[in-house]
Amino acid sequence: MNKWKNKAWFVLFTVPLLLVFTTVVIIPFIIGIVYSFIKWDGIAANAKQFVGFSNYVQVFQDDRFMHSAWITIQFTLMALVLVNVAGLGLSLLVTSKLKSSNLARTLFFMPNLIGGLILGYIWKFIFTDAFKYIGENVGAENIFFNWLLNPQYALYAIVVVFAWQMAGYTMIIYIAGLQGIPDDLMEAAQVDGAGPWHRLTKIVFPLLMPSFTICLFLTLSGAFKIFDVNLSLTGGGPVNSTEMFAMNIFNEIFGYSRYGIGQAKAIIFFVVVAAITLVQVYITKKREVQM
Amino acid sequence: MNRVNKWIAEILLVALALVFLSPIYIMLVNSFKDRSELYNNALALPTSFSFTYYAQALEKMNFLTAFGNSLYVTIVSVVIVVVLASMTAWMLVRTNNRLSQVIFMVFVATMLIPFQTLMMPLMQTMGWIRTNLGIPMLNTHEGLIFMNVGFHASLAVFLYHGFMKSIPIALEEAATLDGCSKFGVFWRIVFPMLKTITITIAILDVIAMWNDYLLPSLTLSDKGLRTIPLSTFYFFGEFTIVWNLAMAGLTLTIIPVVIFYFTAQKHIIKGIAEGAVK
């Protein structure tokens, strides 16, 4: 009797969420795999044709996709470095016991709360008009020109905006790590004659390893999946040169109506993201054992 | 000497913070300028403060409707996520069998799936439900809320699960002996103890859902249903960009975020740190 009752409670508590979750995540995931083997243009009346692995073969022959994958990797690497150097630098600044550090921390974090779409639009103005203005009136025209018209610089522009958004976020995580380092350890090192640089590289950085792992992972997956900033800042332009992985999938499906090929790309995207994440978790686990 | 150095450091830090936020400054000053003033000097303070562009942007973006829509979708979604995920996680923690473990593993594993992998088949699924079951999943706020709950379930269950493992079971057993039903035990005893993690989850979800563009753009097609990111996108798409008007519009969209940030700053920063570390 009691056992039966417990089961009923279990069902009552878990089924509502499981129902929503299954409809929104599990079922689409499974039929998504099926769609990647089908040729279809998205119009319900038109036939869906099973084509086996042909979609996947076509994806790898698609130059636009390969270009997109390549610039996504470039973008991710640049973003990874810039976000973490900036985040770590800011965290060291605001933990330096200055009176204004609380205010500074608040201000540094603010861009992170504003959505990527809106940030992209703000910076679009800066990279086009404000930069042009500075170049024409202040000088340094080889830095201050319209970045969004140049394929390479348009990519750098996305890196800058992404870093501006994420630096405050990684800063918060690095601060938590820095506060975990006991003060007496630093004082002891100082007494022993270790200079600021030595204290930083020999004590702070090794103890900050867990924070590094978290931040690297967050920037890695965030950068790889970037969409909103890409859409509002460059829209993939000039001429598809900054169309990144996520946007390429979106355009393939909803722009060109190639549902099968687009979904095959989406599955590849999943495999890559999952692989990156699992490698990262594996490394984290290994580190934790050592510490 | 030391004191002077310290003051210089203070000033430098504040200066750096201000430079960091200069894009916000540029957005603000240009939202007040007329066309010629904006192109004459994009960086200077405006010579006069007129709110004409704000009034125009308010109207063209249908801002108040969009704000109401965003508020409704975000709040209802977050409340449902918190209620359902905490209940589910509690059962999974307290029922120690194979099924619970499998369900939990599935939740955790699906956190790896990026949205782009699910978006097209999700729309097909929702379309199927609409045609065959008659439930209006597409182009309604309720449908969007349903999908928001599904997408944010994993992380919430994961965070609650981790937190609950540290709560002693003794209190719950005592309440059960006193004749309290499971429902009563959960809401009167367990849920109040989850306050800190609930705040963390709510904050992470509010930020994500408020700023989300892609999912609402796929599900909502009626003009009157648009959330803030959607109306911003169409605002930029419909007109050739008039920058002073655009800047006024962008400033409007940021005001609610800034207010939210300054009222709940401590919780937000703590929530972000905790959510990330786990």
Q: Given a cut of 90, is residue B243 above it in pLDDT?
A: no
The residue count for chain A:
291
Residues A31/B121, Cβ–Cβ less than 8 Å: yes
Asked whether the beta carbons of residue B149 and residue A17 sit closer than 8 angstroms, the reply is yes
Domain extents in chain A: 63-245+263-290
CATH topology of domain A63-245+263-290: MetI-like fold (1.10.3720)
Integer Cα distance of B91 and B163 in angstroms = 13
Q: How many CB pairs under 8 A join A and B?
A: 235
- Give the pLDDT score at A84: 94
Residue pLDDT, tens place only, B78-98? 999 999 999 999 999 988 889
Question: Helices marked H in A47-115 — which ranges?
Answer: 54-61, 63-94, 101-109
Asked whether the beta carbons of residue B116 and residue A18 sit closer than 8 angstroms, the reply is no
The answer to whether A6 contacts chain B (CB < 8 Å) is: yes
Burial class (CB in 10 A: 0-12, 13-18, 19+), B135: middle
Using the structure block, give the residue that is written with the tokens 């200079």.
A195
Integer Cα distance of A36 and B232 in angstroms = 33
A250: left (phi over 0), alpha (psi -120 to 50) or beta: alpha
Q: Which residues of A touch B254 (CB under 8 A)?
A: 114, 118
Task: Please give the DSSP secondary-structure letter assigned to residue B46.
Answer: P
- Give the pLDDT score at B277: 64
Residues B100/B92, Cβ–Cβ less than 8 Å: yes
- Phi, then psi, of A38 in degrees rounded to 5: -125, 145
Q: Which residues of chain A from 32 to 91 reach within 8 Å of chain B, CB to CB? A: 32, 35, 44
Residue pLDDT, tens place only, B159-191? 999 998 888 888 888 888 888 888 888 998 899
Most confident of B29-43, B204-218, B252-266: B204-218
- Give the pLDDT score at A144: 82
Residues A227/A152, Cβ–Cβ less than 8 Å: no
Residues A151/A241, Cβ–Cβ less than 8 Å: yes
- Give the pLDDT score at A290: 47
Whether the complex's predicted ipTM is more than 0.85 is answered with yes
β-pairing, A38-39 with A49-50? antiparallel
Asked whether the beta carbons of residue A113 and residue B114 sit closer than 8 angstroms, the reply is no
CATH (residue range B61-238): 1.10.3720.10
- Give the pLDDT score at A289: 47
Task: Please give the DSSP secondary-structure letter assigned to residue B49.
Answer: -
- Give the pLDDT score at A288: 56
Sign of dihedral through CA atoms B28, B32, B38, B40? negative
Sorting pLDDT into bands at 50, 70 and 90, what band is B99?
very high
Domain with CATH 1.10.3720.10 in chain B: 61-238
Mean pLDDT by 10 residues, chain A (291 residues): 81 94 96 92 82 89 91 94 94 84 88 91 89 81 83 93 93 89 82 80 83 86 92 87 93 92 95 86 65 42
Q: Given a cut of 80, is residue B43 above it in pLDDT?
A: no
- Give the pLDDT score at A291: 42
Token output for A277: 């994440």
Q: For B173, how many CA atoms within 13 A lie in the half-sphere containing its CB?
A: 5
Distance from CA of B72 to the nearest CA of A (A): 18
Residue pLDDT, tens place only, B195-242? 989 998 999 899 999 999 999 999 999 999 999 999 999 988 876 778
